[in-house]
Structure 1
Amino acid sequence: MADTPGDGPPRAALIAAVVLAVGAAVGFLVFAAVTQHQRGPAPVALSAVPAPRADGPECARLIGTLPEKVGDYRRAPLVEPAPAGAVAWQRDDGGEPLVLRCGVERPADFVVGAPLTVVDAVSWFRVQDPSDADRATWFAVDRPVYVALTLPRDSGPDAIQTVSTAVTATLPAQPADPGPAA
């Protein structure tokens, strides 16, 4: 059936309008995805924790060698005022970040006989916050400064392996100094 005057716009014009609308929507989604990827992760807000040696040369060396990517996490800017000696990585889709803090105090639970996990020649002590089962903090306890790495449950082994490599390269090993026996 042929289009007749008065039946609305011609069929070709309708098809062209739909194609243009769909193309514009797809173009907008592609543009949004590309610009989000270029902007990188959103800034991460970190609370201050006692870190008496965070401003020291050991932490400066370590932080200077940390990579931009850890697995599928990318280094994220920190919300100002950012704590000294801190670095965060976040996935592009958000979620819980990986957080490294250098120069922190010895963990209170680190005592003689506490279990350690060795990853790439670094001795790590794990602290699980009973109120937050989705994250654990690992402390490098055999270096001149304590390094804390807080990991979300689903972060995988890349983070602790990557950070262990950087710790080994920049901070000399020394005997772990646990507190008194529990």
Structure 2
Amino acid sequence: MDRPRVLIAAGLAVLLLAGVIIASLVFGSREQTAEPPPPTRTGPVALVPVPAPAAGSADCGTLLKNLPASLQSGSTVLAKAQLAEPAPPASAAWTDQRSDPVVLRCGLDKPAEYTATANTRAIDGVQWLPIDGEQSSTWYLVDRTVYVAVTVPATAGTGPLQDLSALIGKTLPRKS
């Protein structure tokens, strides 16, 4: 009688081992892995040139001289970044080195989308024309003496625009 018990015990051990192997194959492949953090961006921010006929104006000079060293984006602080050469005139960027930068360009032409019926939005008393893109929005300043564009990644929230609107309200005169 000992022999049947040994065979049963051996059979159960083999079944248990097979079950563990099968379970590890099935459930091990469903293991959840955390997404790796986005890569850290290094070096200066490269910007493509765009026509900016008033980039050399006194108003753009005043604005650029008063730009903050950082912008608030939710709980993240975006630091003013060095621009890659050749840098477009009257431009600036802020980044946290992980996401796309917030980019400001001063002295642009009037945006074609800015018509008599365009929907503008006021932020801290400054009028902006928002143009939504897939992964960012570009906000055109439309009530001051120069046109300014601020491109904000979708992940940045409204903090950068609020910071810049407060500065622009104090720095640039309204159109007469």
Q: TM-score w.r.t. structure 1 length?
A: 0.70
Please give the alpha-carbon distance, in whole angstroms, between the structure 1 residues aligned to 2:69 and 2:45: 15
1:146 corresponding residue in structure 2? 147
One-letter code aligned to 2:111: P
Structure 1 runs (4+) deviating above 4 angstroms are none
One-letter code aligned to 2:83: L
1:76 corresponding residue in structure 2? 81
One-letter code aligned to 1:174: K
1:111 corresponding residue in structure 2? 115
Please give the alpha-carbon distance, in whole angstroms, between the structure 2 residues aligned to 1:55 and 1:41: 29
Please give the alpha-carbon distance, in whole angstroms, between the structure 1 residues aligned to 2:115 and 2:148: 16
| Cα deviation, residue 156, structure 1 | 1.3
| Cα deviation, residue 42, structure 1 | 2.9
1:17 corresponding residue in structure 2? none
Within-5 A mapping of 1:100-139: 100-129=104-133, 133-139=134-140
Please give the alpha-carbon distance, in whole angstroms, between the structure 2 residues aligned to 1:128 and 1:158: 17
Rg larger in structure: 2
One-letter code aligned to 2:69: E
Please give the alpha-carbon distance, in whole angstroms, between the structure 2 residues aligned to 1:118 and 1:41: 35
Q: CA RMSD in A?
A: 1.4
| Cα deviation, residue 41, structure 1 | 6.0
Structure 1, gaps ≥5 residues long: 1-39, 176-182
Identical-pair percentage: 38
**Kept in 2: contact 1:41–1:77 (CA 8 A):** no
Secondary structure of 2:129's counterpart equals strand
| Cα deviation, residue 113, structure 1 | 1.1
